[in-house]
Amino acid sequence: MASETLGWWLGAAPGFVIALRTWWQGLRLQSRLSAAAVAERKWAAAELSNHQKVNLWFAPHRFISPDDTPSIMEAKKAILAFRSRALWGIWGGGILAFVGGVAGSLIASRVA
């Protein structure tokens, strides 16, 4: 493997770890919502529909509907609270991966 490629991967690794960790935390919150919905036999709320995902990211005031049960509402509030942290984690991790990859590649090409 060329030193520039190795430098790119080593530089990009922290950004990838941040983005993947944030994504994993989001999946855990989604499973919490699914568990609450399945326990109450609200099958439509068990998985976020495309409409709910659009509301989550672009219209958060419409994400929680009035006919949600208290446990589903609590799970959706946790997802809404995670929303800004997820945006920072995924975008920040992606930018850090890009910058770290370029910097690692440049450093490796100068050293080798």
pLDDT for 24-40, tens place per residue? 998 888 888 777 777 77
The DSSP result for 23-84, as a single string, is HHHHHHHHHHHHHHHHHTT-HHHHS--HHHHHHHHH-GGGTS-TT--HHHHHHHHHHHHHHH
Instruction: Provide the residue ranges of all domains of the chain, joining segments of one domain with +.
Output: 3-111
Decide if pLDDT at 68 tops 90.
no
Q: What is the pTM of this model?
A: 0.71
